[in-house]
Amino acid sequence: PFSLFSFPVFALAVLFVLWQNTHSARAASRLGFAFGLGMFGAGIGWIYIALHDYGDMPFLLALFATALFAAFLALFTALIGYLQAKLQTPAWVRMVMVMPAAWVLVEWLRGLIFTGFPWLTVGYSQAAASPLAGYAPLIGVYGVSLVVAISAGLLVLLWEARWTGRGWMALAALLILWFGGAASRAVEWTQAAGAPFKASLVQGNIAQELKFREEKLADTLEAYRQQVLQSDARLIVLPETALPVLRHEVPENYAEILRSHARKNGGDMLIGAFERDHGQYYNSVFTLGTAESQSYRKNHLVPFGEFVPLRPALGWFINEVLSIPMSDLARGGITQPPLKVAGQKVAVNICYEDVFGEEII
């Protein structure tokens, strides 16, 4: 709900007040854990769906695995509570500096440890309608998280100080932050380069539970063929793993139909499919059309969906429990050249990689 962008500010403000009134680091940690458990418990329900609906994991086991992961993520908010409690500073410094800085530091750590899981980073809550979205081109998502957390601290100071001098200062700082973001939104931070060209995004709307069934393969290929042939765009983009076969298993006559159509339009296609190379499997995007054949291999994989962290200890989880197709993939290189398609150089991100704002070109 993009219109509820102010909700995280008030939620953090309440958490900061509760932290302020705790009397030990242990109590602050427990409070942070409870907050995180609620936040992640509500926000990562899709993992249960992936494990149960698409991985055929038993109901109770999928529920337990999701709850366990939410509890693990809640340890990060527990850490925030611990850190801010250990730093003995004046109340106003703690509210607008220590707590916001600790929040963003731990968010950054969460996006780094075990390849990272930056889901529910607070800065993303300000997308679209929020004035604070104006800061994103300047300081990135973690910078926006910091502004949200500082806003929460200022809101607490404003409530506590009310009509005193400190209250007025908090109000002024809050207005400067939010009007500054609104002003930044009015600035065109990028400029178009080169002549415009037409691009098409083709969505097959293939149900995930049917996607990898062998008896549905012909229907899937036909659905995409029909949609592609209806497009006159110079660049045609298909979704992640749109073709549910390995790249080398795509029927040559089918690939030639798509390639010929892209060439007729004077351009190229970007197609998602799995790729096998030297016994390793990759989640890839490859090209068909006027340009030479190229591919991009997904680097940042989804934990437990595309790879299992700590594989030596959890290998049994893949072999005996998890049955999601292609759930133990290899990573593509951390640096890969852009794809040259439709006369442009295109940097590709696949699905989960979009969550890592610092990696988006």
**Catalytic machinery residues:** 240, 298, 351
* CA atoms of 83 and 47, how far apart (whole Å): 29
As beta bridge partners, residue 235 has: 199, 268
Instruction: Please count the residues of the chain.
Output: 361
Distance, CA of 343 to CA of 22 (rounded, Å):
60
User: In Å, how far from its chain's centre is CA 30?
Assistant: 27
- The 3 state secondary structure assigned to 311-346 is HHHHHHHHHHHCCCCCCCCCCCCCCCCCEEECCEEE
* Phi and psi torsions of 345, nearest 5°: -100, 120
- Phi, psi dihedrals of residue 12, rounded to the nearest 5°: -65, -35
Query: ∠ CA(315), CA(349), CA(339), 5° rounding?
Result: 120
Assess contact for 48 and 66: CB atoms under 8 A.
Answer: yes
Closest CA to 240 of 210, 202, 278: 202
Tell me the two tokens of residue 54. 């698409």
